[in-house]
Chains A and B, each alone.
Chain A
Amino acid sequence: MRLGFLVDLDLCMGCKACEVACKVENNVPLHSWRLRVKYVDVGTYPETKRTFTPLRCNHCEDAPCERICPVSALHYLENGIVNIDKERCIGCAGCMMACPYGAIYMDPETNTADKCTFCAHRVASSMMPACVVACPVEANIFGDLDDPNSNISQYIMKHQKDGGIKVRKPEKNTHPKHFYKGGGEVQLNPLASKREEGFNLFNEITHLDHIGGH
């Protein structure tokens, strides 16, 4: 079994239900995100549109975070999920430096690294990840990439002919198991869009102080 994820960006409407569901399901602390939806505005008025891109751990087959973790706190489960053992993590932040997708954060309450685990605890109980359940337009598709009859495999086979299936930063050779349908440079390449200071909704963000550590 090789679990993977696909987001159909043509369906996503940026409602952030997945983001909220993830926060609630995993008790993600204030100012930290396992999953977030990035908005990018494209074009010049009046020819403008807004794109929405959910971003989470890519559960890479050749995960840099797993390789750099000195104590194997980041490890593979048999189903291909890159999981994290928070009891073992020493908080060196090597994984944060290694992840090209910025998907790992330092939990301010436990002082350990944390990230999306595809809701491994729910998957173990034969449930879908919380974000999949919450999506009102079924833009999140989760399943076994090794099973040709799974919904995700069928979706990839149907749309990959016209180059419609992409991953983030393929040049990093991490072989992500998280795919996007309908994504372009603007959504998937952080350097293809500008971040203007003063126009970010998170300008006045409150940071939790780390308990212990620094």
Chain B
Amino acid sequence: MVEHTIPATNAIVTLDVPVTEVIWGWMITLNMWAKSIATGVIFIGAYLLARYGKETGEKVRFYMPVVSFVFLNIFLLFTLLDLHQPFRMLNIFLHPNFTSAITVGAWLATILTGIIFLMTLIVVKPKIVKRKSKAECRLAPYYDTFLKIAVVLAIPVTLYTATIMGEATARELWQTPTELVQMLTAALLCGSAVFLLIGGDFPYAAKRDLAIILGVSAFIAFVVYMGEYYFGHMKAEEVAAVLANVKEGGEYHVLFWIGQWVAFIVPMALVYLSLRSKTSSLLYLASLLAIVGLYVTKHVWLIIPQLLPLS
């Protein structure tokens, strides 16, 4: 239990409803994690195309929309499955309430998925249609235009979950400004990790850039988590109660630190060693750990404020 008692009153709840079970669970974690990968590859893919167009171009132009499309669909699928009335999802478009970040996010994510679908069609069609005359997609000349739109849309799509968390007034731990930073660093972390995993034949300079993005993203995310973990209690009683539960060895204590080590600390060390030795083999492990660890980190941060009794 995460609450405490005042010694002077020695107050004990003797009859109440049980603390509500966790409302947003692993499906929402998966939602956030998949979205980080889907938007991250767009940001990093656009960077690689702009900076290393010729050397990395063909591979990035293919994998960016494909990976993004797969993970956008995982994100949307689990968003839908998490609803208690999934068939009423249409109400978001028929009866939208635009003060809700859920609505704004759903609209933007849908548009982004449409754009990424078209980009995927452009790169996949030539690979699956055998007749050369019909292989090229008629939309191919618009790839770069779609990419620009996708980059712009990916920014609010990756960030809107932070606003949902901010609108979740009952969970004081989630503050919009810090969550915005966490969402952005998560996207950059995942985007760079995905391209390090699939870009074995990229020139070393491109790999070095990706490693630096991975390392810096991990560092910023780690610093923000540590800031909240060690100093968050100063501002709000509820944050203090939630973090005390984790610090005092609650069930999420070990998981929290596993997440921090696997997602941030070890990848940072591996990136440092890799850059020093100018080899890229360690970067595969760093990328894999960062992606897996991020899921754990996000999950712990999602669950712990929900353990707080509200009444």
Q: Interface residues, chain A, CB within 8 Å of chain B? A: 33, 36-44, 50, 55, 64, 67-73, 88-94, 96-103, 105-106, 111-112, 172, 174, 185-186, 190-197, 199-202, 205, 210, 212-214
Contact = CB atoms under 8 A, between A and B. Distances in A.
Contact of A97 (B9, B13, B23, B309): B23
A42 B3 CA distance: 16
B88 A88 contact: yes
B20 to A, nearest CB: 6
Interface in B77-98: 81-86, 88-89, 91-92, 95-97
Contacts of A71: 88, 91-92, 95-97, 103
Given A68-B167, A193-B6, A195-B13, 10 more contacts: A38-B13, A41-B14, A68-B168, A70-B92, A98-B169, A111-B85, A191-B237, A192-B5, A194-B3, A202-B18
Interface residues of B, number: 52
Given A41-B11, A192-B11, A193-B3, A36 B16 contact: yes
A193 B311 CA distance: 10
Contacts of B97: 69-72
B3 A111 contact: no
Residue of B6, B16, B92, B241 with most chain A CB atoms under a 10 A cut-off: B16
Is the contact region of chain B dominated by helix, strand, or loop, or is it mixed?
loop
A172 B166 CA distance: 12
Given A70-B100, A102-B311, A97 B168 contact: yes
B20 A112 contact: no
A39 B10 contact: no
B82 A92 contact: yes
A96 B5 CA distance: 25
Contact of B85 (A91, A101, A186): A91
Given A102-B310, A214-B81, A94 B237 contact: no
A200 B3 contact: no
B14 A191 contact: no
Contacts of B231: none
Interface string B154-185: 00000000001001111100000000000000
Contacts of B19: 195
B214 to A, nearest CB: 31
The 8 closest A-B pairs by CB, nearest first: A91-B84, A102-B310, A193-B11, A39-B15, A194-B5, A64-B169, A111-B84, A70-B102
B47 to A, nearest CB: 33
5 contacts: A50-B14, A90-B86, A94-B164, A98-B169, A99-B310
A196 B100 CA distance: 37
Contacts of B86: 90-91, 213
A68 B101 contact: yes
B84 A194 contact: no
Contacts of B84: 90-93, 106, 111-112, 210, 212-214
Contacts of B11: 40-42, 186, 192-194
Interface in B81-131: 81-86, 88-89, 91-92, 95-97, 99-103, 106
B4 interface: yes
B5 A41 contact: no
Contacts of A43: 9-10
Nearest to A65: B169
A193 B99 contact: no
